[in-house]
Amino acid sequence: MVAASLCGATNATEFSLFAQERKQALSRLIDYEEAPSHDTFLAAVAPARSGGLRTRVRRLCCRLCRGTPGVVSLDGKALRRAYEKGLAASPPLTVSAFASETRLCLAAASPGDGENEVEAAIKVVELIDLTGRLVTADALPCHTRMAQAIIQRGGDYLLALKGNRRHWLARAKQQLAQTAPAVTERTEISHGRSEWRQAEVVAAAEPVMPAHRPSSVSPAGAIRPSR
């Protein structure tokens, strides 16, 4: 029932249909011969119609989020071809926070009127407890407001640094050139291709921006994909 609700089901009939159509996947979690009928689901949710079920699900999600430290990835996705007529250049956008360990979407937000993806990303950060977690994001939200929002929620950050922040990038390159970096490599099969990655990391002698702790700097890394 919880899985069906997360996929958009809203009533007992849809719960039962979901259990029938997704039996192969759900059997890995709960072994059952026949999917429960809609009457069975009605009986299960009857005591919780006052809002108790929603409260319990929220508590469960909060416990999962707090109890599993790890990496949280921020990313925005545009809903292509879902725009209103005449707004092809501005499709709906959603920014989500994805927990890599539990493989759960912890929170999501869309930009409001006059806002952009960066504003939505900060909204998402402010919705979740980041204590003991590392937040990763691409170069778009690489700025002081995002870093400060993550720190205030108790997390650490790994933000991509590219040409859009040329002064920070120049300082990072200078530090990499002045210090022998630690080098690591990794080869993996991803998206149907073999990818080789190399990262060089050095400890930062001083914060890249004011009021931030000295940490480490790293280039975007070298990626050499091959089919």
Question: In this predicted model, what pLDDT tens digit does every residue of 71-99 receive, in sequence order?
Answer: 999 988 877 665 556 555 566 788 888 88
Q: Which of 54-68, 102-116, 125-139 has the lowest mean pLDDT?
A: 54-68
DSSP bridge partners of 45? none
pTM: 0.62
Mean pLDDT of 41-69: 66
Instruction: Dump the DSSP string for 156-212.
Output: EEEE---GGGHHHHHHHHHHHHHSPPEEEEEEEEETTEEEEEEEEEEE-SS-SSTT-
Q: Domain 69-160, CATH 3.90.950.10 — does that match?
A: no
Q: How confident is the model at residue 18 (pLDDT cuts 50, 70, 90)?
A: very high
3-class DSSP state of 133: coil
Position 204, amino acid: A
Name the burial class of residue 192, with classes exposed (0-12), middle (13-18) and buried (19+) by CB atoms within 10 angstroms of its CB.
Answer: exposed
Select the more confidently predicted residue: 55 or 86: 55
Render pLDDT for 168-223 as a digit per residue (tens, 0 to 9). Answer: 888 888 888 888 888 999 998 877 889 998 888 888 777 666 556 655 555 544 44
Q: What is the pLDDT of residue 17?
A: 93
Render pLDDT for 130-174 as a digit per residue (tens, 0 to 9). Answer: 888 899 998 888 888 888 899 888 888 888 888 878 888 888 888
pLDDT exceeds cutoff 70 at 52: no
- Phi first, then psi, for residue 186 (nearest 5°) are -155, 140
Domain borders along the chain are: 2-49, 69-160, 161-227
Q: What is the pLDDT of residue 223?
A: 40
What sign has the CA pseudo-torsion 8, 58, 99, 129? positive
Instruction: Provide the greatest CA pair distance for the chain.
Output: 70
Render pLDDT for 20-50 as a digit per residue (tens, 0 to 9). Answer: 999 888 888 888 888 889 898 888 777 665 5
DSSP bridge partners of 76? 95
